[in-house]
Amino acid sequence: MARLPLSIQAIESSCCVTVPDNKKRKAYSIWMWVLTFFIYCSYHLSRKPISVVKNVLNQNCTDVPAPVPTPNNSHWCDWKPFDKDNSATLLGMVDSSFLFAYAIGMFASGFIAERMDLRIFLSIGMIFSGIFCAMFGLGKSFNIHQLWFYIVAQILCGLMQTTGWPGVVTALGNWFGKGNRGLIFGIWNSHTSLGNILGTLIAAAFVSNQWSLSFIIPGIIIGSMGIITLFFMVPLPEMVGLPNPNASYEESPAVSYVGKEKEEETRNQNEAEEEKAIGFIAALKIPGVIEFSLCLFFAKLVSYTFLYWLPNYILNNTPYSPEESANLSTFFDVGGIAGGILAGVLSDKTGMSASTCIVMLIVAIPMMFVYQAFCAVSLGLNIFLLLVVGLLVNGPYALITTAVSADLGTHECLKGNAKALATVTAIIDGTGSIGAAVGPLIAGPISAAGWDYVFYMLMFSDLLALILLLRLGMHEMNNWWTERRRRRNTLLAPI
């Protein structure tokens, strides 16, 4: 059973005794929104360094004369095993070791999250994520050149990072009902892009001189957030005497974990059965879970290929330095913030999540071609195109992993069971994470034949993503048209 941390217990006993429930709910809801925002921001912040550091590791030194050593090029061609002509392939293996571990671990993580105190679950995951993120950077500090060391560090980090998404989505979903979920989650999901931006800037600040700090500092940040979470998280409204907006007993008073035992005892057996965590097969039977999961496979493949290879692409196709390329790549994430919010607003206003994703995916395909063709024309055009591509690529990805997952995890077919959210979230994001692992893995070898082929792969992946949503999109359009005709007939009916 989840328990309140002592710090929240102290706040409850000293400050919240006479506070009305509506004000109390508002205060806790805002706090949980802010806390989970920075929790997942720190998760992404600690994932980003490898995409920046690979620009100084990925140095093909074959038949290249060494320059005169200076403080600014002391890393030049000296970091084995990434110093030969197979460096792109090896770095693709390092990327994929994290991403495959993340994808595989995600399915198990959702089941664990539903059966464990989310506060403890997230705290442990963040502290160990910080340790294993720093472990990669310590490889430079201790002069380690074995490939297996870096792969093991990424595998362990990937497994610990799986605690983040099902944990934060479930915790936030427990505090916010369906209402304006698209907008709330759309703004909230900007933590992904903000984490990428901060992670890039931190890593870029040290990449040219001491790239070990590019990993160690983000590791310290996420570990520190884990400690804050341990002392200040309230994952369930019932823990502070407030009703859960997704619970099946809406008319009954709140059940507190720190009191009101009699109300817990009077809850009937049927409700208790409904609140059991559902299984994997039952979650797959929820309408839309399979389609959105497969769509996210390809959408996340595209997004994570940009995440891991965009700084390297800019470095190899523009005149900018490794640090400048890393900083320039952050505009893709800035566009992603706007894309997540825009997709959420459109989904709220239209009630058509699949159709919103389809439209953005359709427009994203030609825009990726335009960026690949014209990114080297000027700095201003590069920034503008990155903003647009980031908006279109990350919009569907953000919508599916947040509002769509929360809606499916509290689908009406579950009869109010709030225990399905972590499992549904883990299935959708876990499937997407397999695509996220595949994209960067094949992008490295393909880039050796030419970056044009990488962009063809990304455009084809977006095409498959939108095809997978066509059935749901057609269903949404049919419902919209039927409702529109019903309203028109109602207005025209004689009084």
Q: How confident is the model at residue 376 (pLDDT cuts 50, 70, 90)?
A: confident
What is the Cβ-side half-sphere exposure of residue 473, based on CA atoms within 13 angstroms?
Answer: 16
Q: Provide the greatest CA pair distance for the chain.
A: 91
Position 69 pLDDT exceeds 50: no
The pLDDT value given to residue 464: 96
3-state secondary structure 56-96: HHCCCCCCCCCCCCCHHHCCCCCCCCCCCCCHHHHHHHHHH
Which residues are within 8 A (CB) of 448 and not within 5 positions of it... i.e. 6 or more apart?
A: 88, 89
What is the Cβ-side half-sphere exposure of residue 89, based on CA atoms within 13 angstroms?
Answer: 6
Position 3 pLDDT exceeds 90: no
Between 266 and 329, where is the model more confident?
A: 329
Instruction: Indicate the length of the chain as a whole number.
Output: 495
Looking at every residue in the chain, the average pLDDT score rounds to 82
Position 267 pLDDT exceeds 80: no
The pLDDT value given to residue 461: 95
* CB-CB neighbours of 241 under 10 Å: 19
How far lies 373's CA from each of 11, 79, 448, 455, in Å? 57, 33, 18, 10
How far lies 95's CA from each of 52, 133, 152, 165, 273, in Å? 12, 13, 11, 19, 42
Position 143 pLDDT exceeds 70: yes
Position 72 pLDDT exceeds 60: no
Q: What structural domains does the chain harbor?
A: 20-58+81-236+275-485 (1.20.1250.20)
The pLDDT value given to residue 304: 87
pLDDT mean over 65-91: 62
Task: Give CA–CA dist 120/344, Å, rounded.
Answer: 30
Which of 190, 448, 423, 201 lies closest to 330 in space, CA to CA? 201
Q: How confident is the model at residue 411 (pLDDT cuts 50, 70, 90)?
A: low
pLDDT per position as a tens digit, 318-341: 888 877 888 898 899 899 989 988
Q: How confident is the model at residue 455 (pLDDT cuts 50, 70, 90)?
A: very high
Task: Give CA–CA dist 109/107, Å, rounded.
Answer: 5
Which of 387, 405, 119 lies closest to 239 in space, CA to CA? 119
The pLDDT value given to residue 70: 45
- Classify residue 313 as exposed, middle or buried by CB count within 10 Å of its CB (0-12, 13-18, 19+): buried
Position 45 pLDDT exceeds 60: yes
Task: Give CA–CA dist 259/17, Å, rounded.
Answer: 13
Which of 187, 244, 266 lies closest to 418 in space, CA to CA? 244
Which of 157, 159, 181 lies closest to 169 in space, CA to CA? 181
The pLDDT value given to residue 80: 82
pLDDT mean over 375-384: 89
pLDDT mean over 137-164: 93
Between 274 and 116, where is the model more confident?
A: 116
How far lies 425's CA from each of 12, 78, 197, in Å? 31, 43, 24
101-110, 219-228, 391-400, 446-455: which is most confident:
219-228
Position 255 pLDDT exceeds 50: no
Between 13 and 43, where is the model more confident?
A: 43
- What sign for the dihedral angle of Cα 48, 50, 56, 58? negative
Position 76 pLDDT exceeds 50: no
For the whole model, what pTM was predicted? 0.73
Q: Letter for the amino acid at 124?
A: I
pLDDT mean over 446-471: 92
Evaluate whether 394 touches 296 at the Cβ level (below 8 Å).
no
The pLDDT value given to residue 253: 42
Angle at 47 between CA 87 and CA 294, to 5 degrees: 90
* CB-CB neighbours of 112 under 10 Å: 17
Position 231 pLDDT exceeds 90: yes
Q: Letter for the amino acid at 148?
A: W
Between 310 and 270, where is the model more confident?
A: 310
**DSSP for 311-325?**
HHHHHHHSS--HHHH
Angle at 411 between CA 107 and CA 487, to 5 degrees: 145
The pLDDT value given to residue 256: 43
The pLDDT value given to residue 73: 42
CA end-to-end span of the chain, whole Å?
57
pLDDT per position as a tens digit, 352-362: 889 999 999 99
Which residues are within 8 A (CB) of 150 and not within 5 positions of it... i.e. 6 or more apart?
A: 94, 136, 139
pLDDT per position as a tens digit, 168-227: 988 888 887 665 666 787 788 888 888 988 998 899 888 877 889 999 999 999 999 999
pLDDT mean over 161-172: 89
The pLDDT value given to residue 492: 67
322 — phi, psi (to 5°)? -55, -45
Residue 11 in tokens: 């706040």
Task: Give CA–CA dist 174/24, Å, rounded.
Answer: 15
Which of 14, 40, 113, 147 lies closest to 402 in space, CA to CA? 40
